[in-house]
C-alpha cells in the first residue's frame, strides 16, 4: 500500500463541486452473501468478515467518478463490536482503524490504475464516517433522535470519542458527521471537534423527516445556522477552512430544495452545502425498501441543488454506482458550462 497519494483537503479547489460516493451498504450487499439490513452492526460487520468486499465496494464508487469516499464505519462502535463480534476493546478500536485502511487501500489502488492509464489522476478524499449515536441502538432512533432529551452533551461526546480517535489516528482526510437526527448531537460533536481536534476538517449532515425539519423536529435552517455559527466563532477569518459543509443526507430527494431554501431565505453568509439523499424510497421494517417505481432519477435534482449552492453532492441508501456516475456527468456538465 502506498501513501503518497494522500491529499490535504485544502489542496482541493474550494470553488469546485465534489461528488461523494453512494450508499455503501446498498452496494456492499452485492458483494456479500450475508444479510446487511437488519443486522445490529449493519455493513460494519463486513470490515471484520469480508474486507475484500469492502474494498471492492469502494472501488465500485471510485470507478463511477466519486471524488469522496467514506470509511465503512457508520455503525461501528467499540461497544457494538464487543457485544456482537465478541472482540476486546483494543480489537474493536483496531477494527475501526482497519476500516479506514481498507478505504485508503481502495483509493490507492484506484489512483495507481488511473495514473497508469491516463498519466494523471485527480485527488480523492477518504473521510471517516461518523454515524449518529442512535444507529448503534438498533431501534430506529437514528431516524427520530428521541435520545436527544435522555442524554447529555457530555455522554454523546463520550460515545463518539473512541471512534473519532481511531479514525483520526488512521489519517483520514476529514470526518463525515452524518445522518444526525437532532441538533443536540450535532452541537455536541461540533463542539468536541472544534475544541479537541483542531486539525480535523469535517462536515455535518442532518437526517430530515420532511422539507423543513430534522428527524427530531428542530428546523433544519436553525440547526444548520447553529453549527455554522459555532464554526465561525472558532475560525473568524476563514471558517470554510474548518468545515467542508453543512447539509442533509439519507433524506428523500424531493425535500432537499425546500430544506436548502429555508436556510437561504434570510441569510447571506452561509456555509457550503452538502447533500446526499437516498433514492426516495420508503423503508418498511417488514417489507424493506418500497416505492422504487415512483422515484425520479436523482441526477434530475442535481441542477437545482447546484443552483442553491450545493458543493458536495452524492448518494445515500439505495443510491448505486450507476447513479453516482450520472450525478458526476451532471456535475461535470455544469462545471464545464460555468468555466
Residue 330, all three cell numbers: 451532471
Cβ nearer to Zn ion, comparing 135 with 221: 135
Q: According to the annotation, is 316 in a ligand binding site? A: yes
Q: Is the backbone of residue 65 left (phi > 0), alpha (psi -120 to 50) or beta? A: left
Q: Which is nearer to Zn ion, 78 or 316 (CB)?
A: 316
8-state DSSP, 284: E
Nearer CB in complex with Zn ion: 102/250: 250
With CB under 5 A as the contact rule, which of the stretches 163-171, 183-191, 251-259, 277-285 interacts with Zn ion?
A: 277-285
- The rounded distance, in Å, linking the Cα atoms of 157 and 230 is 16
Tell me which DSSP letter residue 219 carries: B
| Radius of gyration of the chain, Cα coordinates, nearest whole angstrom | 18
What is residue 20's DSSP assignment? Answer: B
Nearest distance from C-beta of residue 250 to Zn ion, angstroms:
3
**Closer CB to Zn ion, residue 80 or residue 131?**
131
Query: What dihedral do alpha carbons 291, 292, 293, 295 form, nearest 10°?
Result: 100
Only one of the segments 130-138, 188-196, 249-257, 294-302 lies at the binding site for Zn ion (rule: CB under 5 A); that segment is 249-257
Helices marked H in the chain: 24-28, 45-49, 51-63, 78-84, 89-118, 153-169, 183-196, 220-234, 253-264, 302-307, 321-338
- Pick from 254, 262, 192: nearest CA to 224: 262
The single residue among 70, 317, 319, 330 that binds Zn ion, judged by CB under 5 A, is: 317
Does position 250 bind Zn ion by CB under 5 A? yes
Query: Which stretch in 38-46, 60-68, 121-129, 308-316 sits in contact with Zn ion by CB under 5 A?
Result: 308-316
Contact status: 319 vs Zn ion (CB under 5 A): no
Subset of 192-231 contacting Zn ion (CB under 5 A): none
Which of 188, 306, 316, 324 touches Zn ion by CB under 5 A? 316
CB of 108 to Zn ion, least distance (A): 26
Residue 135, interface with Zn ion (CB under 5 A)? Answer: no
Q: In this structure, what are the phi and psi dihedrals at residue 126, rounded to the nearest 5 degrees?
A: -110, 110
Q: Which lies closer to Zn ion via its Cβ, residue 248 or residue 316?
A: 316
Known binding-site residue numbers for Zn(2+): 250, 316-317
Binding site for Zn ion (CB under 5 A): 250, 278, 316-317
Amino acid at each position: 500500500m502506498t501513501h503518497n497519494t494522500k491529499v490535504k483537503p485544502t489542496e482541493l479547489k474550494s470553488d469546485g463541486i465534489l461528488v461523494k460516493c453512494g450508499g455503501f451498504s446498498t452496494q456492499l450487499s452485492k458483494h456479500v452473501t450475508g444479510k446487511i439490513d437488519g443486522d445490529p452492526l449493519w455493513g460494519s460487520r463486513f470490515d471484520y468478515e469480508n474486507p475484500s468486499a469492502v474494498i471492492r465496494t469502494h472501488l465500485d464508487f471510485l470507478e463511477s467518478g466519486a471524488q469522496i469516499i467514506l470509511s465503512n464505519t457508520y455503525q461501528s462502535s467499540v461497544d457494538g463490536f464487543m457485544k456482537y463480534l465478541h472482540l476486546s476493546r483494543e480489537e474493536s478500536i483496531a477494527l475501526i482503524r482497519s476500516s479506514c485502511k481498507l478505504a485508503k487501500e481502495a483509493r490507492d489502488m484506484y489512483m495507481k490504475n488511473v495514473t497508469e492509464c491516463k498519466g494523471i489522476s485527480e485527488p480523492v478524499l477518504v473521510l471517516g464516517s461518523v454515524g449518529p449515536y442512535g444507529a448503534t441502538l438498533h431501534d430506529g432512533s437514528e431516524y427520530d433522535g428521541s435520545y436527544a432529551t435522555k442524554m447529555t452533551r457530555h455522554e454523546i461526546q463520550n460515545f463518539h470519542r473512541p471512534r473519532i480517535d481511531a479514525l483520526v489516528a488512521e489519517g483520514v482526510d476529514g470526518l463525515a458527521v452524518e445522518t444526525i437526527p437532532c441538533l443536540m448531537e450535532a452541537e455536541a460533536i461540533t463542539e468536541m471537534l472544534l475544541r479537541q481536534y483542531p486539525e480535523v476538517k469535517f462536515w455535518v449532515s442532518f437526517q430530515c423527516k420532511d422539507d423543513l425539519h430534522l428527524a427530531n423536529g428542530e428546523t433544519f435552517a436553525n440547526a444548520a445556522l447553529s453549527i455554522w455559527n459555532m464554526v465561525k466563532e472558532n475560525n473568524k477569518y476563514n471558517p470554510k477552512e474548518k468545515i467542508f459543509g453543512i447539509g442533509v443526507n439519507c433524506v428523500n430527494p424531493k425535500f432537499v430544495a425546500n430544506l436548502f431554501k429555508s436556510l437561504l431565505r434570510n441569510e447571506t453568509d452561509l456555509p457550503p452545502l452538502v447533500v446526499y439523499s437516498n433514492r426516495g424510497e420508503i423503508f418498511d421494517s417488514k417489507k424493506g425498501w418500497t416505492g422504487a417505481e415512483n422515484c425520479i432519477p436523482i441526477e434530475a435534482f442535481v441542477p437545482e441543488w447546484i443552483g442553491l449552492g450545493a458543493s458536495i453532492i452524492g448518494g445515500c441508501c439505495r443510491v448505486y454506482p450507476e447513479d453516482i456516475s450520472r450525478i458526476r456527468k451532471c456535475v461535470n456538465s455544469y462545471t464545464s458550462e460555468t468555466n
